[in-house]
């Protein structure tokens, strides 16, 4: 089939590349010509393991086309995916849908004769598909389009695997024609364990928000239980294992650590609250999750201050990892940003190393330095904070890395054994233990 992905951000690029890898011709469209030029040179603008190799292979085989010519891409495609951003509106909880509606208005001008399926893959509130269909009402009356919701469930750092081996494929449409075509599109990746789920368009939109809110709830819940474990003398890992062994609960997203971040959970929980308000439904649990997560950021900052005895001036603090999770360069809503900004204002000397490279978020901050090796980052540190659980950090010789013998470690991901650290005579702090 011939597909058009409008937007080459995380969702659009990964989906487009993976669709081309199963035999489709895919047009990836973006108004940012510089980004298109880079992609045509095989340069991937995001950090996602395995993506570059698959992109280059399918580009060479001419199944993958990068262009800024929206009209050409749409005319030559059977299925159009809207994959633009839906950020949080400033000073509100609501999702900003201006980019989605702009695409819809552009499509209205381009589609003239041939039937197209318009798929909203962007994460959007309930009824957004209705509004897109209203914009395209003339095309709908002529039976030239069907508007479908097909939310993505790609995890950053594991996106390619998630695309090839999805837990479910959700298709929101009441059109038998569109459903038949899309089932054929997804057939190569629908395995025996994968459920192809056809529901209403509004149902598909809400499935995405509800899923993310529930996972965010699990993270916030286990973080709060970790707080209790610290005071009760219980190991949070034991609690997580005991809980996760129950099939009704499951062990995924039950790992205590920093506040959740990234491009999805923060904005989607806020947007779900806003959607509830618009439909006059008070989502008290989701509100509590958002509040708990915000509190988590401040709690861990206070923990750092306490570990350092309340005196932060001229303390050398090393961050190993700053992204919200490993195997991604995404810094959106990561709690390392407010933490480092706070410590910088208190005149601490911050050094950080992240496998995904230097971050613009910290440029211009006083006393914040990027190091290109783990050893240079840890040199003479008073406190080493293990913030992101990259594989690079799981087997470190801290005695060798840190020349000062009175250094401390704050392991926010519980990667190391407290008993082992005690034997090494290292002052070690973790979460919920």
The last residue of one of the domains, among 257, 278, 295, is 295
User: pLDDT: is 192 or 97 the higher one?
Assistant: 97
Q: Is the domain of 99 the same as that of 127?
A: yes
What are the distances in angstroms from CA 343 to CA 41, 103, 337, 358, 402?
40, 42, 10, 18, 20
Determine the length of the chain: 433
pLDDT at 193: 72
Q: Is 85 a domain residue?
A: yes
Mean pLDDT of 335-362: 97
Cα–Cα distance, 225 to 285 (Å, whole number): 16
Cα–Cα distance, 258 to 376 (Å, whole number): 24
Residue with tokens 């470690």: 409
Per DSSP bridges, beta strands 145-149 and 2-6 are unpaired
Q: Is the domain of 166 the same as that of 234?
A: no
Instruction: Retrieve residue 343's tokens.
Output: 């410590």
Q: Is the domain of 279 the same as that of 397?
A: no
Angle between helices 284-307 and 201-232 (to 10 degrees): 40
pLDDT at 297: 97
Phi-psi region of 258 (alpha: psi -120 to 50; beta: other; left: phi over 0): beta
Q: Is 116 a domain residue?
A: yes
CATH code for position 254: 1.10.1040.10
E-assigned strand segments in 162-223: 168-172, 195-199
**Do residues 260 and 219 make contact, with C-beta atoms less than 8 angstroms apart?**
yes
What are the distances in angstroms from CA 416 to CA 394, 396, 398, 422, 431?
8, 10, 11, 11, 11
Whether pLDDT at 402 is above 80:
yes
Closest of 60, 72, 81, 67 to residue 3, by C-alpha: 81
Q: Is the domain of 185 the same as that of 221?
A: no
pLDDT at 399: 87
Cα–Cα distance, 3 to 78 (Å, whole number): 6
Name 92's Cβ contacts closer than 8 Å, sequence gap at least 6: 274
CATH code for position 335: 3.40.50.720
Closest of 384, 376, 300 to residue 336, by C-alpha: 300
Phi-psi region of 62 (alpha: psi -120 to 50; beta: other; left: phi over 0): left
**Is the CA virtual torsion 309, 312, 313, 318 positive or negative?**
positive
Question: pLDDT by residue (tens digit) across 145-161?
Answer: 999 999 999 999 999 99
Q: Is 321 a domain residue?
A: yes
Closest of 38, 18, 17, 37 to residue 28, by C-alpha: 17
Whether pLDDT at 192 is above 90:
no
The last residue of one of the domains, among 164, 199, 234, is 199
- DSSP state letter for 126: T
Mean pLDDT of 73-95: 96
Q: Is the domain of 300 the same as that of 280?
A: no
| Catalytically annotated residues | 264
Q: Is the domain of 131 the same as that of 37?
A: yes
Q: Report the run of H or E that residue 34 belongs to, with start and end.
A: helix 33-40
Question: pLDDT by residue (tens digit) across 27-72?
Answer: 999 999 999 999 999 999 999 999 999 999 999 999 999 999 999 9
Q: Is the domain of 308 the same as that of 397?
A: yes
Residue 319, SS3?
strand
Q: Is 309 a domain residue?
A: yes
Mean pLDDT of 71-84: 98
Q: Is 322 a domain residue?
A: yes
Whether pLDDT at 191 is above 80:
no
pLDDT at 45: 93
Q: Is 204 a domain residue?
A: no
Domain count, the chain: 3
Q: Is the domain of 60 the same as that of 107?
A: yes
Q: Is the domain of 87 the same as that of 107?
A: yes
Domain of 63 in residue numbering reads as: 2-199
**Do residues 149 and 201 make contact, with C-beta atoms less than 8 angstroms apart?**
yes
Q: Is the domain of 178 the same as that of 67?
A: yes
Whether pLDDT at 403 is above 90:
no
The last residue of one of the domains, among 199, 227, 248, is 199
Q: Is the domain of 165 the same as that of 246?
A: no
Q: Please report, rounded to a whole number, the percentage of residues in the chain having pLDDT higher than 90.
A: 96
Q: Return mean pLDDT, the chain.
A: 96
Please list the residues that pair with 197 across neighbouring strands. 170
pLDDT at 144: 97
Q: Is 63 a domain residue?
A: yes
Question: pLDDT by residue (tens digit) across 86-145?
Answer: 999 999 999 999 999 999 999 999 999 999 999 999 999 999 999 999 999 999 999 999
Q: Is 179 a domain residue?
A: yes
CA 253 remoteness from chain centre: 14
Q: Is the domain of 86 the same as that of 191?
A: yes
């Amino acid at each position: 089939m011939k597909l058009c992905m409008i937007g080459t951000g995380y969702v659009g690029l990964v989906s487009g590349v993976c669709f081309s890898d199963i035999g489709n011709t895919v047009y990836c469209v973006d108004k940012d010509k510089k980004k298109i030029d880079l992609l045509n040179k095989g340069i991937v603008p995001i950090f996602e393991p395995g993506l570059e190799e698959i992109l280059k292979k399918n580009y060479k085989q001419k199944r993958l086309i990068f262009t800024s010519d929206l009209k050409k891409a749409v005319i030559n495609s059977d299925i159009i995916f809207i994959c633009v951003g839906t950020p949080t509106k400033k000073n509100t909880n609501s999702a900003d849908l201006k980019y989605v509606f702009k695409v819809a208005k552009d499509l209205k001008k381009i589609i003239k004769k041939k039937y197209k399926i318009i798929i909203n893959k962007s994460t959007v509130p309930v009824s957004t598909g209705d509004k897109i269909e209203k914009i395209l009402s003339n095309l709908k009356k002529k039976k030239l389009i069907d508007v479908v919701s097909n939310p993505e469930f790609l995890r950053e750092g594991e996106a390619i695997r998630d695309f090839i081996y999805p837990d479910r494929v959700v298709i929101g449409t009441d059109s038998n024609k569109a459903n038949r075509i899309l089932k054929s599109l997804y057939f190569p990746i629908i395995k025996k364990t994968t459920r192809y789920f056809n529901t209403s368009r509004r149902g598909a939109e809400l499935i995405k928000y509800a899923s993310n809110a529930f996972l965010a709830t699990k993270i916030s819940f286990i973080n709060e239980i970790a707080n209790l474990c610290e005071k009760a003398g219980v190991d949070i890992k034991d609690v997580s294992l005991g809980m996760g062994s129950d099939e009704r609960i499951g062990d995924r997203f039950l790992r205590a650590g920093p506040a959740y971040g990234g491009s999805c959970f923060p904005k989607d929980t806020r947007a779900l609250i806003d959607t509830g308000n618009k439909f006059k439904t008070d989502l008290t649990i989701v509100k509590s999750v958002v509040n708990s997560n915000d509190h988590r950021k401040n709690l861990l900052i206070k923990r750092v201050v306490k570990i350092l005895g309340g005196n932060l001036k001229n303390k050398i603090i090393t961050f190993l990892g700053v992204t919200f999770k490993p195997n991604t360069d995404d810094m959106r809503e990561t709690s390392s940003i407010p933490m480092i900004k706070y410590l910088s204002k208190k005149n601490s000397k911050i050094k950080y190393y992240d496998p995904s490279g230097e971050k613009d978020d910290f440029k211009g901050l006083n006393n914040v330095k990027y190091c290109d090796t783990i050893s240079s980052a840890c040199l003479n540190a008073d406190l080493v904070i293990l913030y992101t659980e990259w594989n690079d950090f799981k087997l470190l010789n801290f005695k060798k890395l840190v020349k000062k013998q009175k250094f401390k470690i704050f392991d926010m991901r519980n990667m190391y054994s407290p008993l082992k650290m005690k034997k090494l005579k290292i002052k070690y702090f973790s979460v919920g233990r």
